[in-house]
A and B are shown apart, each in its own frame.
Chain A
């Protein structure tokens, strides 16, 4: 097997590749800015320079030349090489800053160069705390700067597009953003303008940076030059908790990180998942933080008669639902599952009402034909269409649903988290003919039409799984507390510095953002008043039950989903639904 010697240690490699990536894969440290594993290699930051050499091959003897000590004679390249663009070669010898003073000095020199025109406004910069420039300067940089001249001034706080703001002075011209729009989103909206130390990324004259993936440039920007218009100045990185999750605004279900502070989701960023979204996610998915924080249904809402909805107790809500179920025949109950709700919630809905004698379960796919782009935005607007389908809910379009309601047969309608009035031709009048229970995360036209609204948890508050358009099942982890969950007790929830040490006197420690809601399955368990013990105590238990009873979900567990970045299910029909 070909070998390479890095800092006098021998490594073997199997496939051809670049030295920097090989070192990163092997846990060796080397500073870099412009390199990104999913983009082309421009080798322009010059930060990852190393001393590289090849053994001298003696053609006559057919062996490597050796010196008097029996060591191979190494011929080093006359210049320091950038590891990012250097191909692995058999017998190659690499010296990094650990074993070569010149390399160490060169890396420090390079950082000094980068910093001479950098504003060094870390205290007010959003990137501080997760800034490669900051981190690498601490690790590899010079002690101070010898630059005593006026820095180059460039435009600041330019609104490049609706979501991205540029501070050109902070830019170190790594061109990651430019390469992203050229190679990944392929909108070619950004370029570097001007020359020398005056250059910075910009759109073409009069164009705005409205790329549907524009916020990825903010993620890959190694400094605070590109910032998110939404998240800018909202929070310091070290104040937030980071929780793995899934994009719930789109059928693709990109893997995400939810960043929370004081039980508010402040931003959503992509989480690397080779099988789904690589390092990227659409901008639309990042706006989901508003759905988690704003306009939430908190406490059950009941409409006693034709008047306004009023808040009611959980106890009353449960009794009311049970009463309404008693009142009607099982055949007169219309259950509408939701592609927006998780596999577990849909399953428990089905299981509960099956036990009440209901046999038909429907759902309305949320597909907007032509809205997808074949990349990370699908026509499907819901995260779990395939999951509901796999649970044998019957697919129905809104026209058929309206017809079904207009027959007057359904006396009790139960809608799981889905704004049907908002997104389909269903109207409030349709629902007024029967008694309607809506389990919802956010207020919507549908909840306003309901006789009873049950507040349920969002993907940011519960552990649940979703099956994306390609049939891949992924799960969420609770990121923010509800009134009934607690970080310290829930071992899956992340604990930040403020969670550990914060007090009520700290700025970002309060109970005010905890929503009074429970997972849909938990409400259904509470409804099952006949039992002494609840059927399920956690969504984990529900998933186990699904895995045992549904062949498509065989072997699916949360642990496997975590370890394998989601599991590809073998579904019969994984293509996007064609109906609206």
Chain B
């Protein structure tokens, strides 16, 4: 599939003017999947919908890459009490800016996917948690939701069936941690965004103690494609281990940064050189952060033949994350980059768990010391020791996200770090 990427037609954000208007969306096959399900509820009973999505192997686009259908199947049988779907549009990781494309250009496809997800899991309330800084996109989405209500796709008795679902938007207030699913729920409940201890998992006890599923916006936007065209078709897009269209957010030192939609499993060098127009100023590539700031950076020489899917990236020593690629050219000071990433995590650590609360600050301060030319060689050992003390010792994964970039960049760009640290070896008179 990756060979004919040039002929690929976008599925998530197709180039159709005014697609955010419901009439345009309907004209282009919108809400067909939902109608298909509701018109033949025997064939498309909730279990079958989940099965279809599970077979399609939609890997969660929020970073963890977990099979969405499998996640849906964890929901317990309905017991007549409320259950919830929370849609995670809090994207706030540096280097990630893909969901906004969907809010901006194709909100209805996401809404349709969310409704189908709610149908499959027999949920009646959907919350859309959106990053607070996305005010214009929230307004766009809200307009789309209103249109969906007006046209009978949301609300009571959708399209004349006995299926009802409500959709509410909720704006975040500028906390990265609220993109973590359990603190997102805390935040939705009106509490401080502290991640919860697992177990219990959200499917057992989520929002207000009720079964809840949390899905990324892009993941849900993939759902109507699967229903419309079938799981087989979906599996044929990109590698079957990580199929489907992916929104690649390419930023950094490239000539044409932006969000590009292509099948999963695109060759990284193709993405950089052909899609994004190559490294800026004809410079050489130095490093790539493949999926948002929390994924370990890869050296240019590690990118040979690596493609953007979870397995290939894991082999290369990194992760798919959100496919928010940050391209760094040869002039980049890696210490400065890593310090800036550390600064972000220092700022965004919620402060609940000790290792993360204290470790992020310590990393940041030590990296700043090195960056400012006051580093000593032992600071590198201390950095690695701090990372060791943080990884896997906290409730959520923010500590890992903060530690990995530091650990792996010291591993992969050690000479650069050492050069900075050696500067301060003064002759003793």
Contact = CB atoms under 8 A, between A and B. Distances in A.
Contact of A44 (B348, B352, B365, B382): B352
A464 to B, nearest CB: 46
Interface in B364-418: 365-366, 369, 382, 385, 388-389, 392-395
Max chain A C-beta neighbours (<10 A), residue from B197, B350, B351, B369 = B351
- Size category of the A interface is 35 or more
B389 A109 contact: yes
Contact of B351 (A147, A191, A196): A196
Contacts of A82: 197
Contacts of B346: 196-197
B273 interface: no
A147 B358 CA distance: 11
Contacts, number: 97
- Size category of the B interface is 20 to 34
A100 to B, nearest CB: 14
A203 B44 CA distance: 52
A192 interface: yes
A196 B362 contact: no
A529 B388 CA distance: 80
A113 interface: yes
A134 interface: no
Contacts of B351: 173, 192, 194-199
Contacts of A117: 358, 361
Given A44-B354, A46-B354, A146 B361 contact: no
B33 interface: no
A309 B184 CA distance: 71
B175 to A, nearest CB: 7
B279 to A, nearest CB: 34
A344 interface: no
A47 B354 contact: yes
A188 to B, nearest CB: 11
Contacts of A192: 192, 351
Contact of B197 (A43, A45, A106): A43
Given A147-B362, A196-B361, A112 B382 contact: no
Contact of B361 (A43, A44, A197): A197
B382 A146 contact: yes
A113 B192 contact: no
B357 interface: yes
B348 A197 contact: no
Contacts of B358: 113-114, 116-117, 197
B362 A149 contact: yes
A197 B382 CA distance: 19
Contacts of A112: 389
B359 interface: yes
Interface in B180-209: 192, 194, 197
A80 interface: yes
Contacts of A273: none
A79 B389 contact: no
A196 B348 contact: yes
B197 A85 contact: yes
Contacts of A150: 365
B389 A110 contact: yes
10 contacts: A47-B354, A82-B197, A113-B358, A117-B361, A149-B366, A173-B352, A195-B347, A195-B351, A196-B357, A198-B351
Given A113-B355, A197-B357, 18 more contacts: A42-B194, A44-B353, A44-B354, A44-B395, A47-B354, A109-B385, A109-B388, A113-B357, A116-B358, A116-B361, A146-B385, A149-B366, A194-B351, A195-B349, A196-B357, A196-B360, A197-B360, A199-B357
Q: Which 8 A-B pairs have the closest CB atoms?
A: A109-B389, A113-B358, A196-B349, A199-B351, A149-B365, A79-B392, A197-B361, A44-B352
Interface of B: 175, 192, 194, 197, 346-355, 357-362, 365-366, 369, 382, 385, 388-389, 392-395
